Amino acid sequence: MENKNKKKLPGDPKKTKTNIIICVIAAFFAFGLIVFLNAEIQRNTHKEITYTKFINMLKEGKVEKVTFGRNVINIEPKEGERVAMIKVTYYTGYVNDTALVQDMLNKYNVEFSAEIDNKSSGILDFFLAYILPFVGMWVVLWLLMRMMTKSSGGGIMGVGKSTAKMYVEKETGVTFRDVAGEEEAKESLTELVDFLKNPNKYREIGARLPKGALLVGPPGTGKTLLAKALAGEAHVPFFSLSGSDFVEMFVGVGASRVRDLFKQAQSMAPCIIFIDEIDAIGKSRDSHYGGNDEREQTLNQLLSEMDGFDSSKGIVILGATNRPEVLDKALLRPGRFDRRIIVEKPDLKGRVDVLRVHSNGVNMDDTVDLHEIALATSGAVGADLANMVNEAAIMAVKDGRMAVGQKDLFEAVEVVFAGKEKKDRILGKEEKKIVAYHEVGHALVTTLLKHAEPVQKITIVPRTMGALGYVMQVPEEEKYLRKKEELLSEIVTFLGGRAAEEIIFDDITTGASNDIERATSIARAMITQYGMSEKFGMIGLESVQNQYLDGRTVMNCADVTESEVDQEVMRLLKECYDRAYKLIDGHQDVLHKLAAHLVEKETITGKEFVTIFEEETGITVKKTKSKEEEEQDGEKTSEES
């Protein structure tokens, strides 16, 4: 019973024989269709007429040529109907009319001839009409099969072949020197490289080579780059493919390709197999994420192959994903993926290192301070930083300069985060004034608050990502923990723009929609995740899903509690808005002065803002020291001591 119900895979001989039989049947069907169409065309383009009609056509001058056969007269008219672009001819029965030839010579002036009885002509006609189209059809089928073989890793006969791209030794052109900001991940992979190069020193102590390592992190952090760097350092064959390459339209293709991939890898060991976006085939087999027989069959084969190969031969499997929560538990257990390497967003030092790597080969002047750029790009990944350096270089070329300056880099940061300036979008006088007061409201509140970040730039020039203006703030230092008062200050800052609109214009606009969305998100997180609510206390009311993608949250409480959470969020936002309203209402003079200056200039720097603020309020703003000033202060302190 088990043998009868066993599924046939594309690589089975019986399956291959069935495919060949289907192709032969299709070929004969096509041949029969060609014969039928040829006979049908001949029947419609060679029609029978009476001898009387033939004589009348001669008298009317409609005949161009006459051919006498054994018992038939073939007639070719001068003009007539056509079928499928073929001219219609006629034929009639032969009559013993001796005067006909003389009449065609003397009266009608028609060209005529008689058919020569040649047996080979019939064979030639048969060959041209039937054999040649049949052979041509087989040639076309053969060419199509060759094309399918090249495009789908073997076509019908080899559809189960692996489509892995192979890079050998230094062909990737990437090493660990090209990867920055991920020191822990590089250290874990460096051990794998050392194990592949010097396996004996590990075997002597009893250590075994990890079978696999899973690279986990947000998009753009450099997971694929790390895998290529590992290949560049190890100098061993490197098989690279995506999880989606295993699954196609044929059932069983994925499992067959997994078998073929590991067969190739074992023949070329030691080597590295890299499967990018492994969640395409490694998704959990429970019903929560939806079932798929082909994907599950592929996953089962992958699990079996990872258990079956001998790690002492030096085969290392790398997987990369940004959705680890959907992966099957059997795939993640030790013995398959022994290590989970987190490739997180780089911290301040990491961003400086990444900027240095990507600025190699880029001409930069003395004004460039990568530490300031790194401070302004909190939350950016390696791909973002590489894009910023490239955008800055493009801007320098457009301005006709041979070196990139600090101004270019800051402008590139704004382009990546907010988009390019929309020079064709001209705000009206009233709208420009509203936007100016709105943005100055943000800047004024953040300056008056103790725990807020300092202002770097204020602009009311519209950007392509929808912002009509924005305030750029740069933190004084990188922070990994946020205090409750700092979060509240951030919410108050977000609501400062709406408060300024209401105070000055006694009306509100739609310009605060993004501010409200971000303020609500922080307030909800404080209550449901951080335990910063007096009403609910330390209880987790929601959890984060897809933490490396959109960070979507799911509530883990009753509907009644969720309604109470909404009420608590509204209360917290109202308190923060009242606080922002009072701060701006008490400093309207400086608000008017700054807004007028912003309307005139459209863009003002943090220094200009601080100068006007201190002149109007008499409050001294704490100055943010640059990296060079901090280093100089440190040198002075050490000299004094």
Active-site residue numbers? 439
Structure tokens at 381: 């990944």
CB contact at 8 A, 411 and 394: no
> What's the order of all strands across the beta sheet hosting 603-605?
470-473, 455-459, 603-605
Q: Look up residue 384 and give its two tokens.
A: 């973002």
Handedness of CA 479, 484, 487, 493 (dihedral sign): negative
Contact between 507 and 489 under an 8 Å Cβ cutoff? The reply is no
Is the bond into 270 cis (omega within 30 degrees of 0)?
yes
Residue 87 CB-half CA count within 13 A = 8
Region label for 206, one of left (φ > 0), alpha (ψ between -120 and 50) or beta (otherwise): left
Sequence letter at residue 466: G
How big is the CA angle at 543 (ends 542 and 549), to the nearest 5 degrees? 130
CA angle at residue 547 from 545 to 551, to 5 degrees?
75
Nearest-angstrom CA–CA distance, 240 and 231: 10
Residues 6+ apart with CB under 8 A from 430: none
> Would you say 243 and 574 are in contact if contact means Cβ atoms under 8 Å apart?
no
Identify residue 190 by its one-letter amino acid code.
T
CB 19 within 8 A of CB 55: no
Q: What 3-state class would DSSP assign to 290?
A: coil
Write the CB contacts of 187 (distance below 8 Å, at least 6 apart in sequence). none
User: Which residue is listed with tokens 């309604």?
Assistant: 563
What's the rounded Cα separation, in Å, for the pair 207 and 398? Answer: 57
Q: Identify the H or E element spanning 521.
A: helix 513-528
Classify residue 128 by its DSSP letter: I
Largest CA distance in the chain: 138
In our burial notation (b when 16+ CB lie closer than 10 A, e otherwise), range 97-119 reads eeebeeebeeebebebeeeeeee
Kindly give, in sequence order, each residue whose CB lies less than 8 Å from that of residue 345, ignoring residues fewer than 6 positions away.
217, 218, 221, 379, 380, 381
From first CA to last CA, the distance across the chain in angstroms is 89
Give burial (CB, 10 Å; 0-12/13-18/19+) of 254: buried
Pairing of strands 455-459, 339-342: unpaired
